[in-house]
Copies of this chain bind each other. A is one copy, B any other.
Amino acid sequence: MTVTRNPTKPPSSSSDLLEVDTRTGERPGDRYVRVLQPFAESFRRRAPGHLLVTEQVLRPHGALGTAANLLRRVFVGRRLASEGEINERIGPIKGLAVFASDNISSSAYASEEIMRVVVAAGAGALALTMPLTVAIVVVLGIVVTSYQQTIRAYPSGGGSYIVASDNLGKIPGLVAAAALLTDYVLTVAVSIAAGVAALTSIYPALFGWRVAVGVTFVFLLWLGNLRGIRESANIFAIPTYVYLVAIYGLIGFGLWRVATGTLPTYVPPAGWVAGHAVEALGLLLIFRAFAAGSVALTGTEAVSNGVPAFRPPESRHAGQVLILMGIFFGSIFLGISFLAAQLGVVPDPTEQETVISQIARTLVGAGTPFHLLIQLSTAFLLVLAANTAFADFPRLASILGKDRFLPRQFQFRGDRLAFSVGIMVLAILSAVLIVAFGGSVTNLIPLYTVGVFVAFTLSQSGMVVHWWRSRVTTRGWRWRAGLNGAGALATGIVAVIVGVAKFALGAWMVLLLIPLLIGVMWAIALHYRDVEGALALNWTGQALPVRAPRVIVPLSRLDRAAFEALAYARSISSDVTAVHVTDDRADLDEMRRRWEAWSGPVQLVILESPYRALMAPLMAYIEATETMDPSRPTTVVLPEFVPRHLWEYPLHNQTALRLKIRLFFRPNTVVIDVPYHLRNGRAGHR
């Protein structure tokens, strides 16, 4: 075994493209210009051995490439350099659309979900809607105030995962992460299902197609989000503000009618039968109704997780968005619940008409332009609310990827700086959910919210620890810790209520999934750590062990491809043995005869295999030669014929493929394909 300890550097060759090839002997100037020319557009030289790649390198090749590139530019947009990330950040106006649309859009169904639960105890129980709404808005107030502090304490992004890992430890962090990942997937599924429900309220013909429509929306969101955060904000800002104007218009008009005592008469939906109570009005029912309504709080986490997406000062912009969000959502939620109670609205048991649609048609008339506006803007907002999850899930996954709890690929940013892999995974999982649950909001809701409140509680508890730790440097740490403590308590109680109330309805799936996810993430992290430990090497002063490989070239025939393989083998090592396996005596003699006639610099070994096996004798032979001289690595050089067309592949290389698979798992063995290209009549290998 020859170990070369830093021998002379290789001839300073053409490695960084702009240096002169010293072996040519031409005038440096000429050479410099001639060589530089074709690549000056592709690379710029920053320092010796450091080339900057220009966008030119990414230009498409061929007609197909150009067409694909054009499509991508239309749908995804122009490529953005990594340095342009700061320009892609957003202010509070767009921030509200991106990060608060989830929360605000919940106002479209929060009242209804409460009513659907309490109505089981009879139409009279609907009177509970308003008090429950107030209770939820109070919790929201606590959460928003509490998160204000988180945002200020973690200006580089204070999602539950970070806050909990930072202050409570890795496992609570992972619990929060798993809970959130699950919930983001559910957010997309629920929002889109609700959006489709708003549409079917005005176009009942669409009801049979709700799964297909939902999946189409997921696909559109996928595409929209590949455009990056700023452009998706542009797309999604308008529906948010249209919704706000429309819904405040409706509530205002309704309140005026209440104040003037001119409320019209309400007609229940066609399917409604004022039946008897099917359930007693117990504590569990009230809990369940509270749990159903508290879906409304799910969007809050998004803002604190997404702080880095805001323009500086990031914390201030994020804080503004959080407060605005609380005000908008709270007032709409209260307004809708109030109007529903005043009108005596009952939820449509067939899920075909939403409560808001019923309020709108009663107040302004069914099918009037304003009714349509309310429904369409609600539908759009709900669909786009899923976008909040699209902004957050990939961001969280990328952080988990960086911390090695998820595969590295989640860190990759695409052409537009969006986290493409996370976006794809979220789209696929939520589409699967929509299909699995038949696109029904009511079926999906029980799975939802448990995760979010678990994450809330962990995050707020973490903040309490945070303030305690920095008690020396922080003024007023007591009231800050108290505030976050109140948040933790409130959300903790909700988490338990939601978990208990929804357990049998489906929350058990989530409570099963979260530990499973944690297990997977933990296993991934262990594996990466393990591998990194095993692979770590201090290179400083490490000598490169140079050992000429022992090369084996399996040959089936003596053709050009075999010749090229032998030539390559000889150029990387002087110890080359060609091996021919055969079961045919005539073939054996012919091979030997031709080989001797050739008298080349390579030895031939013929393995006569009477049982027609090819792989096993070859493997045994490699084993044997290695045992005789274990100091050097084995290299197998395979001639591989590359035909002109793809369909011709099955006609060739079957044996090479099988051999490669077998050898790949063999330690200390390197396999080299020497491709022989057959193109345009000439051999590709020069």
Residues of chain A whose beta carbon lies under 8 Å from any beta carbon of chain B: 4, 6-17, 21, 35, 38-39, 42-43, 46, 49-53, 55, 57-58, 79-83, 407-409, 412-415, 524, 527-528, 531-532, 534-537, 539-542, 544-550, 557-561, 563, 566-568, 570-577, 581, 583-584, 588, 592, 594, 597-613, 616-617, 620-621, 624-625, 627-630, 633, 641-643, 648, 650-652, 654, 664-665, 667-679, 681, 683-686
Contacts and interface: CB of A to CB of B under 8 A. Distances in A.
A29 to B, nearest CB: 16
Nearest to A539: B598
Given A46-B608, A414-B612, A547-B571, 12 more contacts: A38-B624, A49-B592, A50-B592, A79-B611, A82-B610, A527-B648, A534-B683, A540-B594, A544-B602, A668-B677, A668-B686, A671-B673
Contacts of A408: 651
Contacts of A546: 567, 570-571
The main secondary structure of chain A at its interface with chain B is: mixed
B535 A548 contact: no
Contacts of A650: 407
A73 to B, nearest CB: 14
A629 B537 CA distance: 34
A538 to B, nearest CB: 9
A550 B676 CA distance: 18
Contacts of A584: 82
A567 B570 CA distance: 18
A660 to B, nearest CB: 9
A439 B667 CA distance: 50
Nearest to A407: B651
A61 to B, nearest CB: 10
A9 B603 contact: yes
Contacts of A46: 608
B539 A13 contact: no
B575 A57 contact: no
Contacts of A674: 670
A568 B4 CA distance: 12
20 contacts: A11-B574, A13-B629, A17-B621, A17-B628, A49-B603, A53-B608, A53-B611, A81-B610, A413-B612, A527-B643, A528-B651, A531-B641, A535-B561, A535-B678, A536-B560, A537-B560, A539-B600, A664-B673, A667-B679, A671-B673
A676 to B, nearest CB: 7
Question: A39, A53, A559 — which one has the most chain B CB atoms within 10 A of its CB?
Answer: A53
Given A15-B577, A53-B609, A613-B58, A678 B534 contact: yes
B576 A620 contact: no
Given A8-B601, A50-B606, A601-B6, A667 B677 contact: yes
Contacts of A7: 601
B606 A51 contact: yes
A542 B625 contact: no
Contact of A605 (B16, B576, B577, B629): B16
B537 A559 contact: yes
A110 to B, nearest CB: 39
Nearest to A578: B15
A608 B42 contact: no
A636 to B, nearest CB: 11
Given A583-B82, A624-B38, A670 B672 contact: yes
